[in-house]
A = this chain, B = another copy of it.
Amino acid sequence: MTDRPYHHGRLRAALLAAAERTLREQGTEGLSLRDLARRAGVSHAAPRRHFADRQALLDALAEAGFARLGDEVRAALDGAGEDYDAQLRAAATAYVRFAARDAALLELMFSAKNAGQPGALPEASERLFTAASDLISQGQRAGTLPPGDPERLRLLLIATLQGIAALLTSGRAPAGQADALITDTVALFTRSQR
């Protein structure tokens, strides 16, 4: 063993990465600052320099999660071609897939903890936010989506996807139903159901 340097160098990033993994494998409850420190090979108090608080770590995770989710939805959208239904479906699928893979993280992202505060969260979720808004207004212009306040529609769409994710990750809806639920959702919103 080369004796590791006194300074880790990028502890913050290492902690976040390890935390994300643990979160995926053991959920929020299983996330311990001390354990993260151990895995990073640093002392138990080191993380404190980067995260004042356990909650601060969770917040940072949520922020990173929003960034990633936003990217993935954007990417799905960009690769979905011209057809509006296909775009909507692609976005929904990306969302639900993220939820399935990182259920605990999504829970964290939508936890009420950071509700009122004007932190970095809003900024991180902006990418996702605008992706959804674009999709909505585009659909409304094309007449594929019902008219009305686009903000409300956006909320409703996100709510539905969020709910589907919750149902799936809680096991209250069988995983195999995911595609069917997405199909129904798209149909519901685009009124293409006869």
Contacts and interface: CB of A to CB of B under 8 A. Distances in A.
A98 interface: no
Stoichiometry, copies per complex: 2
Nearest to A182: B156
Given A110-B172, A115-B171, A159 B164 contact: yes
Interface of A: 27, 103, 107, 110-112, 115-116, 146, 148-149, 152-153, 155-156, 158-164, 166-167, 169-173, 177, 180-181, 184-185, 188-189, 191, 193-194
A32 to B, nearest CB: 14
Nearest to A180: B152
Contacts of A189: 188
Indicate the member of A161, A169, A188, A189 with the most B CB atoms within 10 Å: A188
A158 B152 contact: no
9 contacts: A103-B112, A110-B166, A112-B171, A116-B171, A146-B193, A146-B194, A155-B177, A156-B185, A188-B188
A112 B110 CA distance: 15
A170 B111 contact: yes
Contacts of A110: 166-167, 170, 172
Given A148-B184, A152-B184, A153-B184, A167 B162 contact: yes
Contacts of A116: 171
A156 B112 contact: no
A164 B163 CA distance: 8
A170 B155 CA distance: 13
